[in-house]
A = this chain, B = another copy of it.
Amino acid sequence: MDLYITQEELARALGTVQGVVERRSNQQVLAHTLLSAKDDHLQVTATDQEITVIHRFPAEVAKRGLACVHAVHLFQVARNLPDRAVHLVGQDNHALVVDAPPAHFRLVGLPPDEYPTLPAFEASATLTVKAGELLRIIDRTVFAIPADDQRYGLNGGHLESVEDLEGKTRLRLVTTDGNRLCYAGAAYEGEFGMGRHMLVPRKALHEIRKMLDVADADVEIAFGERAASFTIGTSVLHTRLVDGEFPAYRSVLPTNFQRRVVVNRVAFRDALRRVALEAIDQASTIRMSFADDEVLITSRGIDHGEAKHPVPMVFEGDPIEMGFNVRYFLEVVNCIDEDELVLELGEPLSPCMVRSPTDEDSLFIIMPIRLD
């Protein structure tokens, strides 16, 4: 390998793979990244054996070749180099010379053939969605995938194709942790082909999210038997899918409601943030009392303090008092960017539905807490 790349591109290239490399695996090679010099670009690959990302960056290649070096180490070096052209030269002993005068590095490497190969992947269906749309549906749902929870059927995001009222198909991402259920939808072209009993891992959704910085770009999603790939420009993320049957969520969606609330989102969010400061029990409990034209949000920590905060609302229905985990509520309110929120309520222990008034295709359900 012998190539020139700008310091900025090299640092960006290594930055893109930091979330995927496995620092704590006992397989040392997973802490490494595979560099591949091709025609007019440097290809950077990282994998944790579930998720693989491959990015290309423009480079002036004098000699093709491979190098396998420690990903964090090379990233630190790249970030600290002078802001000029960087000369990368592979060595016979698998080392990589990084030359950016006056700085000169030689990094120890592994034999590139020890790097895991990407499992064979045959796409059975392919669809296209706009990057900005995919970003929106990930942001509105990914927080409800449990972080350290391996419960069957909950440990990933469920993708499905649904029909809207006009009969057009849309891509829907659904997540739940048992206390919340969130979904959001996006228009797509092409063929949806994900298996029914498959989920997209949480880490994969977080890594895909980082690739969606150009809202207008097309994302091609290809589905294989137990894997999917996401392609944006010259970047590819390949992920194994998690085996798991997502709960039959449609049957738990409330079909009607007895109370309807419209609030200003920012006022409601600020109130939740403040009242959260006294919600120090394990369930982060807050109380919401809906009556007339305001909802009064309160919390109380024994030996700590208490908070009260009214928020004006437009209310239809009879007064009601409900308890919630404020952290669950805040994550939902934080992912919505519209000016107003709609809450649809039933009985004190019935699920609370949160909707954006301008987005028919998103829904957030939060389970209430029983109050003493």
Contact = CB atoms under 8 A, between A and B. Distances in A.
A311 B271 contact: no
A305 B107 contact: yes
Given A108-B304, A304-B73, A305-B107, A277 B102 contact: no
B303 A108 contact: yes
A249 interface: no
A305 B108 contact: yes
A64 interface: no
Interface string A254-292: 000000000000000011011001100000000000000
A108 B280 CA distance: 13
- Counting chain A residues whose Cβ lies within 8 A of the other chain, the interface size class is 20 to 34
Nearest to A294: B102
Interface stretch (A76-84, A178-186, A347-355): A76-84
B73 A104 contact: no
A152 interface: no
A112 interface: no
B271 A306 contact: no
A28 B14 CA distance: 47
Given A105-B278, A309-B103, A80 B273 contact: yes
A136 interface: no
Contact of A80 (B106, B108, B277): B277
Given A80-B273, A102-B309, A105-B305, 12 more contacts: A77-B274, A80-B270, A80-B277, A81-B274, A82-B270, A102-B311, A103-B274, A103-B307, A104-B309, A105-B278, A105-B308, A108-B303
23 contacts: A73-B277, A73-B304, A73-B305, A76-B277, A77-B274, A77-B277, A80-B274, A81-B274, A82-B270, A102-B271, A102-B309, A103-B274, A103-B307, A104-B307, A104-B308, A105-B305, A105-B308, A106-B305, A106-B306, A106-B307, A107-B305, A108-B303, A108-B304
